[in-house]
Amino acid sequence: MLIETRPALDPELAALVTAQQRELTDAGARAGERIFEPRDDIEYLVGVVNGRAVACGGWRAGEPEVAEITRMYVRPAHRGRGLGRQMIVALEEEALAAGRPVIRLQTAAHLLAVIALYQSSGYARIPAYGDPRNVCFEKRLPALVQ
């Protein structure tokens, strides 16, 4: 998978996030809560396979040295191939290069496959922040070798 940085208004990114939101709504998220509003404070990455955008993720700066992963999604037809894990690694690398060695994220408690992916990628559960209905995770990355 080729992973590219994309602007917030990229139409392929918007299509991926719209698909993510539709899937979340179908899985039990309350309708109306999932509206894609492009944000300039999020660094977006898009995964491309055979010229087609099939995965996305983003990160944004939090408190000092902290980044939050957001908008992680892989199209269903491309799951089970390690693309989500590749996206996580790319997001971690981008955040670490920006001086943010602590990565946090939140996800819905009923998304068990998503939770398993994060846990198998080294994320540990932390107390909830943001939406109290979500579960939150954190990972501390090793420092870059200069």
Task: Using a pLDDT cut of 90, give the percent of the chain over it.
Answer: 77
Contact 44, 50 (CB under 8 A): no
**26-67 pLDDT, tens digit each:** 876 655 455 667 788 999 999 999 999 999 999 999 899 999
132 burial (CB, 10 Å; 0-12 / 13-18 / 19+) is: exposed
Contact 58, 67 (CB under 8 A): no
Q: pLDDT grade, residue 146 (50/70/90)?
A: low
